[in-house]
Amino acid sequence: MLDKPASALRIRERLIESERLMEGTGCYDGITELSLRNQDPLKFETLHTKLRAYCVSAREMARRISASPGVREVGEMVVAIYTPEGDAIALSNGIMVHVHTMSRFIKWMIRNGYEENPQINDGDIFANNDAFIGTVQVPDVMDVMPIFHSGKLVGWAGAVCHELEAGGITPGGDVALAQERFTEGLFVCAEKVGQNDELRRDYVIRCERNLRMPIYWVLDEKAKVASCIDMRESVKALIDEIGLDYWMQVSKEFIEEGRRAQLARARQLTVPGIYRGHTFYGHVTAGKPGYQPLGDPDWLYNMPIEMQITSDGKIIMDFEGTQPWGYHSMNCTPAGMDGGMFVTLTQTMNFEGFVNDGAWMATELKLPKGTWTNPDSEMAATATSWALLLPAYGVFQRLLARSLVARGFVEEAFVGQVNSPMIEMGGTSQYGTLFGMAHFECAAAGSGAIAIKDGLDTAYVGWNPESDMGNIEIWEQNMPMLYIGRSIVPNSGGAGKYRGGCAFLSTWLVSKTDHLRLVTSEHSSRVFDNGGLCGGYPAPTCQKHRAVRDTNIFELAEKGAPLAHHTGTNPYRSELEVRLEGKHVTVEGPYITAPHKTGDVFTHSYNGGGGYGDVLERDPVKTAWDVENGFLTREAAQGIFGIVLDEDEEGFPVANLDATKRHRVEMRAQRLARARPVSEWVAKERERVKAADFAPEVKKMYASAIKLSARFTRDFSAFWDVDAKSTFGVE
Amino acid sequence: MTSYSKEVIADLVAGTLPWPQTRRIMSAYKDDDRFFKYVAVLQDRVGWEEPILLPVGDHLFICQSGDERVTKCECGHSFGDYRKNWKLKASIIVRDTEELLREIYPNSDLPDPEWMEIREFICPECGTLHEVEAAAPGYPIVHDFEPDLEGFYRDWLGKPLEPSSKGG
Ligand SMILES: [Zn+2]
């Protein structure tokens, strides 16, 4: 089975040559003509479909090997086939964000002389989870294997799984407490972890001794290796059939075709021009246990994005004006930023399944050095980079949505994704064993609205287009907590003519353990980290955590008295407070606290998406249905949407169309009476800006953006007619 | 080539096309003649004659008004030269207290008004809510979209615009 290379691979020279050709011709690897496609388009398309099928089936097979509910249930995996230079030719479904991060990993090994040492041989297995080499965060562990044919390196097979436990300072993988690289978990830095199609025993031992729940990681490794071998053998059999020369040429043509398709798609679906948008993120950790005093504990992040669509259809995204990287876990590497771009494009513009690295080549990211998008210190932690990535790419989706609305493709105009914060845990399991796990039901947030319909309720996340929350029973097998509630959160989607999708909230009873560490990944505090579009409101995404320690829940159950199954709709007194006795806790920002034990109750809510269009245009009939099914409250229907609901004989809500019409006329008049000219507001607000009369974190945000960006400084100064630098005391 | 009738596009835009049909449109190859049908549908919807050149929001359009190109509300109100930020000519409601935020977010935890405010940009004539910004206090108002209008018509649609004496 194994194939020894006939001579030195010289793949590094090939990579440099390929890049030089792209620079010279503007086409991938100098492929200026799709000659094989032109010769026999049917054969060309059939092969492309075959490659795609190899990937999809390898991933499905691998999911059956995995022990992790993240991979088995929720599908946190993707596999892909690459050229010898590391460019993706075809990929499976799943967490497509990693297709390009894996590309970076392969190229990194090639550039760093891996051909000579540790050598690239048939049957080798290379693993990586270092985001500065090519991944998003520590739990995203990738394995790649070279594909040899006739003694020649002809490609790579690669697979990524999101691991549910990465051995960091707190259990799970999205380790909010990591403030530097050194507390994020077990790093495997582009390491040869196996030979002759087998994982090295010493590598497996290292995993077993450094992880809280090694069975997830180790079996996922085996699943990934199996999928890589499966893809490799399929590609080799294909080459036997079509010939090596044909393969080497056709694989490049697929990528060049992907690049051209992306440009054509942009010209077909969008409008050229400059698009701008922003979102914010509140990082609040003051007083939380475990945080080292390395930087300011509280931080407000601004994330402005300027997107340009050029006349040839290239999409350029510029993050200038955003905040510096910090001693927190939310920094992102260029690999992660690439990944965010790639997965967003696959969903918004390249949805027919033939996407590959060509699409990525038709875009450009401008990531200012020193910001969270491109830290100038490789010691920066990236364990929860999704916390900033998701809101940022939600902005990108809204910018694209504007262009789709302008062009008329309203059915694709999507208000976008939100951060969906995960809970993670470790300690003693219900079986009395040590354990650790990330709970992946977060992979089912509410989505933003579409320009013609409501967003998806509890059924979308940006990183995996096949969103899934997993079955309660499976999660309960893997953790010492029992669900006492999993419910829709009413009014959690942003309001609008079309509302954002709603979030859900889980309520758990800690069971059969005296030591359960519960932590959450980063999520925004004090500000919403999403937006609406064309008059739609952002979703309320700064939820706090509510827990009750030492509850009387077992006594209540004994008596058959009602329990709390959710937090309810009263923001000032939760259902937990109404129903349960015990020590009530409300925590802002990441949940990091002392261990829980049997009888404690904990709740965690995911996020809804932003709305689209003016709320006063929402369909009253649909709204009655929403109220009946718990997506909206009656109070919100009337107060926000202006919809008057009556009740039918059975007590179900029915829209009163006439009363609604009258009520809305009144609300519109109130709006106009309340509003004032923007010019007036700007003149008044200018005085506040001149005096820098803002909260310390807001001032710090402006000062940091001004220090890093001449453009932000210029725009701020011009808009308010002030000297931004002197206003915020920047030298 | 995929193509739909103007009636289908009108229903799609109004959100009244039955879901199975909408779903088929989403899954199919896109119709290359969409833009002008879309504009025709919108032109029928607005109560005024000035030709729509480019929709830029749900009820906001760049249109040819005499020899000017302006951003216009569906009600007919003009926000002036399309190259300028229409928001600066709009009306605004700013939700910067807990009480005002609570009106829109009755059940959830609220932003800290010291950290974030909600700005609603409204047509001063008809009261339509055109855009919402959630921003830190003091953050400049965003100029959402500066289309390359002439390039779009010339290079992508192949139908160059008549030269305009004013407004680009
Ligand atoms: Zn108006």
Subunit contact A697:B108, Cβ cutoff 8 A: no
The shortest C-alpha distance from B127 to chain A (Å) reads 6
Q: State how far the Cα of A586 lies from the Cα of A386, in Å rounded to an integer.
A: 24
Question: What's the confidence (pLDDT) of residue B165?
Answer: 57
Question: Among all chains, which residue has been given the structure tokens 């999708």?
Answer: A501
Give alpha helix (H) positions in A602-677.
620-628, 634-639, 657-674
> Are both A599 and A664 inside the same structural domain?
no
* Domain assignment present for A347: no
The amino acid occupying position B147 is P
Picking from A311, A540, A636, the nearest residue to B151 by CB comes out as A311
The shortest C-alpha distance from B97 to chain A (Å) reads 13
User: H or E element: which one contains A263?
Assistant: helix A244-269
> For A335, left (φ over 0), alpha (ψ -120 to 50), or beta?
alpha
Question: What's the confidence (pLDDT) of residue B168?
Answer: 46
Nearest 5 degrees, angle CA A204-CA A208-CA A177?
120
Q: State how far the Cα of A500 lies from the Cα of A609, in Å rounded to an integer.
A: 4
Is residue B167 pLDDT above 80, yes or no? no
Residues of B in contact with A269 (CB under 8 A): 30
The shortest C-alpha distance from B113 to chain A (Å) reads 8
The shortest C-alpha distance from B154 to chain A (Å) reads 10
Interface contact A691, partner B, CB < 8 A:
no
Question: What's the confidence (pLDDT) of residue A2?
Answer: 64
Last residue of a domain, one of A243, A269, A300: A243
* Domain assignment present for A319: no
Nearest CA in chain A to B147: A273
Restricting to B residues 71-110, those with a Cβ less than 8 Å away from any Cβ of A are 87-94, 103-110
Residues of B in contact with A671 (CB under 8 A): 93, 122, 127, 129
If you measure from the C-alpha of residue B127 to the centroid of ligand 1, how many angstroms do you get, rounded to a whole number? 6
The shortest C-alpha distance from B27 to chain A (Å) reads 8
> Are both A137 and A177 inside the same structural domain?
yes
Interface contact A701, partner B, CB < 8 A:
yes
* Domain assignment present for A70: yes
> Are both A609 and A496 inside the same structural domain?
yes
> Are both A569 and A715 inside the same structural domain?
no
Q: State how far the Cα of A534 lies from the Cα of B58, in Å rounded to an integer.
A: 6
Nearby residues of A308 by Cβ (< 8 Å), 6 or more positions away: A273, A274, A275, A315, A316, A318
How many structural domains does chain A have? Answer: 4
> Are both A215 and A73 inside the same structural domain?
yes
If you measure from the C-alpha of residue A663 to the centroid of ligand 1, how many angstroms do you get, rounded to a whole number? 19
For residue B150, which of B136, B137, B162, B138 has the smallest C-alpha distance?
Answer: B162
Residue spans of the domains in chain B: they are: 1-45, 89-135
* Domain assignment present for A305: no
Q: Residues within 5 Å of ion ligand 1 by Cβ? A: B 73, 75, 77, 123, 125-126, 128
Subunit contact B138:A689, Cβ cutoff 8 A: yes
Picking from B110, B129, B142, the nearest residue to A614 by CB comes out as B129
Subunit contact A406:B107, Cβ cutoff 8 A: no
> Are both A563 and A528 inside the same structural domain?
yes
The amino acid occupying position A617 is E
What is the per-residue pLDDT across A284-341, written as a single tens digit (0 to 9) for each? 999 999 999 998 999 999 999 999 999 999 999 999 999 999 999 999 999 999 999 8
Residues A489/A436, Cβ–Cβ less than 8 Å: no
| A vs B: CB pairs below 8 A | 247
If you measure from the C-alpha of residue B141 to the centroid of ligand 1, how many angstroms do you get, rounded to a whole number? 20
Q: State how far the Cα of A395 lies from the Cα of A412, in Å rounded to an integer.
A: 15
* Domain assignment present for A650: yes
Interface contact A639, partner B, CB < 8 A:
yes
SS (H, E, C) chain B: CCCCCHHHHHHHHHCCCCHHHHHHHHHCCCCCCHHHHHHHHHHHHCCCCCCEEEECCCCEEEEEECCEEEEEECCCCEEEECCCCHHHHCEEEEECCHHHHHHHCCCCCCCCCCCCEEEEEECCCCCCEEEEEEECCCCCCCCCEEECHHHHHHHHCCCCCCCCCCCC
User: How many CA atoms does the CB half-sphere of A274 hold within 13 Å?
Assistant: 10
If you measure from the C-alpha of residue B99 to the centroid of ligand 1, how many angstroms do you get, rounded to a whole number? 27
Last residue of a domain, one of A193, A220, A243: A243
Residues B145/A273, Cβ–Cβ less than 8 Å: yes
> Are both A82 and A127 inside the same structural domain?
yes
Subunit contact B92:A612, Cβ cutoff 8 A: no
Subunit contact A278:B124, Cβ cutoff 8 A: no
* Domain assignment present for A394: no
Low-confidence stretches of chain A (pLDDT < 50) are none
User: H or E element: which one contains A82?
Assistant: strand A77-82
Interface contact B20, partner A, CB < 8 A:
no
> Are both A75 and A180 inside the same structural domain?
yes
Subunit contact B90:A678, Cβ cutoff 8 A: yes
Look at residue A546 and give its three-state secondary structure.
strand
Residues A623/A655, Cβ–Cβ less than 8 Å: yes
Interface contact A634, partner B, CB < 8 A:
no
Interface contact A46, partner B, CB < 8 A:
no
If you measure from the C-alpha of residue A620 to the centroid of ligand 1, how many angstroms do you get, rounded to a whole number? 22
Restricting to A residues 548-587, those with a Cβ less than 8 Å away from any Cβ of B are 569-571
Interface contact B139, partner A, CB < 8 A:
yes
Question: What's the confidence (pLDDT) of residue A421?
Answer: 94
Interface contact B54, partner A, CB < 8 A:
yes
> Are both A161 and A128 inside the same structural domain?
yes
Host domain of residue A704: 678-727
Question: What's the confidence (pLDDT) of residue A355?
Answer: 84
> Are both A655 and A686 inside the same structural domain?
no
Strands A315-318 and A363-366: parallel
Nearby residues of B2 by Cβ (< 8 Å), 6 or more positions away: B28, B29, B30, B31, B32
Last residue of a domain, one of A210, A226, A243: A243
> Are both A163 and A237 inside the same structural domain?
yes
**Whether this model's pTM surpasses 0.90:** yes
Look at residue A570 and give its three-state secondary structure.
coil
Burial A436-453 (b: 16+ CB within 10 A, else e): bbbbbbbbbbbbbbbbbb
* Domain assignment present for A115: yes
Strand partners, A592: A519
Question: What's the confidence (pLDDT) of residue A695?
Answer: 98
Is residue B140 pLDDT above 50, yes or no? yes
Mean of pLDDT values over B24-31: 93
Look at residue A279 and give its three-state secondary structure.
strand
DSSP state of A441: G
Subunit contact A535:B55, Cβ cutoff 8 A: no
* Domain assignment present for A187: yes
> Are both A580 and A656 inside the same structural domain?
no
